[in-house]
Chains A and B, each alone.
Chain A
Amino acid sequence: MNADNRRLDWILGGAIAALLILPWYKIRGGFFSFGWIGDLFTKSDLWPATVQVAIGRWQLWPVLALILGALWLRHARPSGADRGRWLVWLGAAGLVWLIAEGLAIGTRGWNWGLLESMFGEVAGQPAFGAGAVILAVAFTCLISFGAAERGALKGDAFILTSISMLILLVATFVFYPILSIFTGAFQDIDGAFTTEGVARNIVDPKIWSLSCLIGGPSCGVAWRTLFLALCTATATTGLGLAFALVATRTAFPFKKSLRLLTILPIITPPFVVGLSLIMLLGRTGTLTQVIEGATGLEFGRWIYGLPGIWLAQVLSFTPISFLVLIGVVEGISPSMEEASQTLRAGRWRTFRMVSLPLMAPGLANAFLIGFIESMADFGNPLVLGGSGGVLSTEIFFSVVGAQNDPSRAAVLAAILLCFTLSAFLAQRMWLSGKNFATVGGKGDGGMHAGLPRRLAWPVITIVTVWSIFTLVVYTMILFGGFVKLWGLDNSLTLEHYAHAFGITWGEDGLRWTGVAWNSFWTTMLIALIAAPLTAAVGLLTGWLIARQKFPGKAVFEFVLMMSFAIPGTVIGISYIMAFNLPPIQMTGTALILIMCFVFRNMPVGVRGSIAAMAQLDGSLDEASLTLGANSGRTLRRVILPLLRPAITAALVYSFVRAITSISAVIFLVSAKYNMATAYIVGLVENGQYGVAIAYSSVLIVVMIIVIGGFQMLVGERRLRRRSNPPAAKEATA
């Protein structure tokens, strides 16, 4: 029982130290710059909580009192269920109080007029700083330790603490921002409550007009986005299916290389496809010139607008659909098709009556993924949008542009969120109703039926044409960086690369003169910090979901997976709305970018670790427990070593995603912390296509190297270890 007291001592010690030493409030220059130490005696904002209380910040009294209460409990009461209950109450009260006072008192006093009229004036306070953060952690620990002493989850403090920390983090970095969108919609510039913005925007014909149906110039942006998403989803599903069928059921000679396609969307920054479409099909595009020269027709600017965006999205997302559908097509038990054939059905009938219906849930899944991706896409519409944008770009322009109308952005974000979440819920319901697609039956030998001939030829043709198109688009990206002025002056040059990545050797040593270096190194640094955090949080969460039973687990898992469906633009806008003002102020820092990446990319780590965990015999954990190891040791010594491949995958994925993503990032970058993608978009807006393309190609090459390097590392490890990892599996079989 000593462990109960020991961990309590640690956390109380930490809390008291934080109250006595650490600055309670946020430091402008950043805590870790330590420049603030010099100002310590002159600026009251830098003082720790105990001093803040002394100079009249009464709102911190309860915090002190609660910690003293916990200290008293520690020494006056033996550990056990009774003390546990009190600790839970203390911790919960502390958290609630921190949230309440943080939200209620802003920089200029009360945040709500009502409170001011009730309690009189109060001095404003800055955002939470190091001290407050540690106290929030301490209160969360008190709750978990108390619950452990009461015997919850078999008294496992490690698991309880992990769960409550995750809930705290997800609440702070997913829920609170989303909530801020909705409250943001009802606030004016000063933060006062108003319905004016919502009332104005919710009926705005620019959003909801259906005039194009009756011959008007264009429909509202909501309908346009929906229409685009439906078209994109249809096309990507169809193409993805064609690719999947060709890859698994025909004698197509280049099947292996088809699979390479699936890596493309991971390593391509989202606007790059749009960019190369401009170079190909824009007004001075290569293909445009060839066709115009041959036919004398005038194409104009058709690529800027929905058709162009659609084309770019289909190019970008078909590989994802292919990836989803190849699993579906392979998952159909061959014996079903063989059974059908022995029942005198020909190939065509077998395909139509057996294979296709079995694929239906998978197709629906691919459709919804395409739908959500299209809705969430920001890069391509930004590059190709021209006058007719979609919701995600419209959100962006309503905060950065001349408009600067946060409530409009909030309304648009809410609409976009409703669309994607509905799609996500539809997908969930559809899948839960029809799980016959997961056939994976036992002992399935047999061969998949080949495609019926009348289907094979059209499908192979489509796939070939589309593959060539994709190839051309990507070649364009690589070559575009070497051409002086695309379409006008096609002479070769290294100018763009020199401009972006120039290095000179001057008197004072090496100088990074290229314009891209700054954002490039920032990007690498932030991606390198974010990747291990993402992997750690994702894997821990996956382990908890896969192996632990706790109340509310289903909800927890559902919420996590739902965050997949939140478009990056919405995340971006929600982060600036949530973290621009106290109690939590992070805009303009590197931290906000890191947190954004961690919680945006975590669900993939979670899925990966759940899948990997499913292959590990659950009795391994239990064996470790019965051998006297606690959960922490079990995780460290048994689970993590066995999850190495999943860890590597999560690391690579989060690293690469941190480099390529743009939609959320573009809201969060600052002059000090600018990211590569945001910088490239800036180049595009200035018309510097050559440099933009050069920079993009460098990013793609860097990511290929990273992925390749990681894969080599994993491969080597497998060679060194003679055994095939899960031996327990083999024994169970």
Chain B
Amino acid sequence: MSNPQRGAVEFRAVRKDYGGFTAVPNLNLKIEPGQLVTLLGPSGCGKTTTLRMLAGLETPTEGAILIGGQDVTRLPANRRDVTMVFQSYALFPHMSVLDNIAYGLESGGMKAAEARDHAARGLDLVGLAGRGDRLPSELSGGQQQRVAVARALVLEPQVLLLDEPLSNLDARLRRRVRTEIRELQQRLGFTAVYVTHDQDEALAVSDRIVVMKDGHIAQDGAPRELYEAPASEFIADFIGEANVIDCQILSVAEGQARIGVGGAELTLPARKGRPGAARLAVRPNAFHVRTDGPGLEGRVTSAAYLGDHIEYEIDTAAGSLFVVDAASSTARAPGSSVRLQFSGTGVALIA
């Protein structure tokens, strides 16, 4: 416990090939102890591969992996101080819940009675006290998920790995469980690496999000940073939908840029922008939809009523925009002309 690096993770120039196919070309990543870091990206981008290399279930083709400051690249999974919550939970169906949780403790050489004691406390931790005698198949999906978390946590690993831990739960349960996981992580203060392809989930639980694309890190930062200052169109679109439109930076002063877009003007943090052509990420809800007044001229091409908001496709000089209007309750007819005013938030220059 005295190791100050305990829980730190580092990937150094890690590469992973499957036969001739390169899943992860060159990964450099440092994770601070006690943080919950999410690997986010579309399916097939190499998240699971990265996680499995950290767990020791795959060996990197090149590079080094450090956990707690120690090089573990060649260390087999069972000798690494990390545990994993699997997408399918991988609970042993022939063992009771308590035996499942005690399994890792016993593998580490703990006496059976002591292990069961520990396991019961672990079960308590995830709010399933008293269900230890059941078989996994006698629990609901959410409960199974919590057993899987408890089983991984009782070993007090340096790092907890979670591979899409919520994907087998229904939408409602997902929200609750992800809050529970986050609370547990903050309470116990362990490092966690969390894999998901769901950006809502990532935004909700993470200290830091690493967005991956084709095995590369596309951007890496706090949730707010990614949302408000996307580094690329891919990020802008992947983290909360966005319209990416062309614009002109008219001038830059004191870190603020004056921007012209299709006849309208607005002022934004300049980031790295220089006067000239640039691109703008505009969230669908970043507009007020008006009948007249200043703003971007447009024509409604389609409208859908969705209860608490209305979704529009609107043709403008800057291209076809996807707009969400939560302010009004009646949809405008397709063909009607509108003015789109920037509401002040949800717009960012792409750096």
User: Which A residues form the contact surface with B (CB < 8 A)?
Assistant: 151, 154-156, 617, 619-620, 622-630, 633, 637-638, 641-642, 721-728, 730-732
Contact = CB atoms under 8 A, between A and B. Distances in A.
A622 B144 CA distance: 17
Interface string B44-75: 00000000000111010000000000000011
Most-contacted residue by chain A among B86, B141, B144 (CB, 10 A): B86
A722 B134 CA distance: 10
A158 to B, nearest CB: 11
Given A628-B78, A727-B135, A642 B94 contact: yes
Contacts of B141: 731
Given A622-B90, A723-B93, 7 more contacts: A622-B77, A623-B86, A623-B92, A627-B152, A721-B94, A726-B93, A728-B136
Most chain B Cβ neighbours within 10 Å, of A623, A637, A728:
A623
B135 A154 contact: no
A723 B155 contact: no
B2 to A, nearest CB: 22
B93 A626 contact: no
B83 interface: yes
Contact of A627 (B87, B89, B138, B155): B155
B85 to A, nearest CB: 9
Interface in B105-132: 107-108
Contacts of A626: 55-57, 77-78, 80, 82-84, 152, 161
B345 interface: no
Contact of A623 (B84, B135, B138, B144): B84
A39 B168 CA distance: 71
Contacts of A730: 137
B16 interface: no
B167 to A, nearest CB: 10
B78 to A, nearest CB: 5
B135 A731 contact: no
A695 to B, nearest CB: 42
Contacts of B57: 622, 625-626
Contacts of B82: 626
A206 to B, nearest CB: 52
Task: Kindly name the residue among B84, B92, B135, B155 whose own CB sees the greatest number of chain A CB atoms within 10 A.
Answer: B92
8 contacts: A624-B107, A625-B56, A626-B83, A627-B151, A629-B78, A723-B93, A728-B89, A731-B141
A624 B151 CA distance: 11
A629 B103 contact: yes
A297 B103 CA distance: 77
B329 interface: no
Nearest to A81: B74
Contact of B91 (A156, A625, A641, A728): A728
Contact of B103 (A154, A622, A637, A724): A637
Q: In this complex, which of B80, B87, B93 has the most chain A Cβ atoms within 10 angstroms of its Cβ?
A: B93
B135 A723 contact: yes
A159 to B, nearest CB: 10
Contacts of B80: 626
B76 interface: yes
Contact of B168 (A619, A627, A731): A731
B104 interface: yes
A154 B76 contact: yes
B89 A154 contact: no
Contacts of B256: none
B343 interface: no
Interface of B: 55-57, 59, 74-80, 82-84, 86-94, 103-104, 107-108, 135-138, 141, 144, 151-152, 155, 161, 168
B76 A155 contact: yes
B104 A627 contact: yes
A629 B104 contact: yes
Contacts of B92: 620, 623-624, 637-638, 642
A728 B96 CA distance: 13
Is chain A's interface secondary structure helix, strand, loop, or mixed overall?
A: helix
B86 A628 contact: no
A629 B155 CA distance: 12
A294 B258 CA distance: 114
A728 B93 CA distance: 7
A1 B146 CA distance: 34
A156 B77 CA distance: 10
A725 B135 CA distance: 10
Contacts of A633: 107
Specify which of A620, A628, A728 lies most central, judged by the most chain B CB atoms within 10 Å of its CB: A628
Given A622-B77, A625-B57, A628-B78, A725 B104 contact: no
A628 B155 contact: yes
A151 B59 CA distance: 10
Contacts of B78: 625-630
Contacts of A623: 84, 86, 90-92
A38 B110 CA distance: 48
B76 A725 contact: no
Contacts of A625: 56-57, 76-78
A154 B108 contact: no
A154 to B, nearest CB: 5
B49 to A, nearest CB: 13
Contacts of A620: 90, 92
Contacts of B135: 721-723, 727
Contact of B137 (A622, A627, A723): A723
A156 B89 contact: no
Contacts of B59: 154
B53 to A, nearest CB: 11
Nearest to A1: B79
B145 to A, nearest CB: 9
A730 B151 CA distance: 19
A721 to B, nearest CB: 8
A188 to B, nearest CB: 51
B89 to A, nearest CB: 6
B77 A154 contact: yes
B168 A732 contact: yes
Nearest to A630: B78
Contacts of A629: 78, 103-104, 107
B94 A641 contact: yes
A141 B80 CA distance: 25
B147 to A, nearest CB: 11
A63 to B, nearest CB: 32
B63 to A, nearest CB: 15
Nearest to A155: B76
Nearest to B74: A151
A617 B90 CA distance: 7
B93 A624 contact: no
A627 B88 contact: no
A619 B91 CA distance: 9
A568 B183 CA distance: 65
Contacts of B107: 624, 627-630, 633
Nearest to B86: A619
Nearest to A151: B74
B38 to A, nearest CB: 19
Nearest to A642: B94
A630 B107 CA distance: 8
A155 B74 contact: yes
A248 to B, nearest CB: 32
Contacts of A154: 56, 59, 74, 76-77
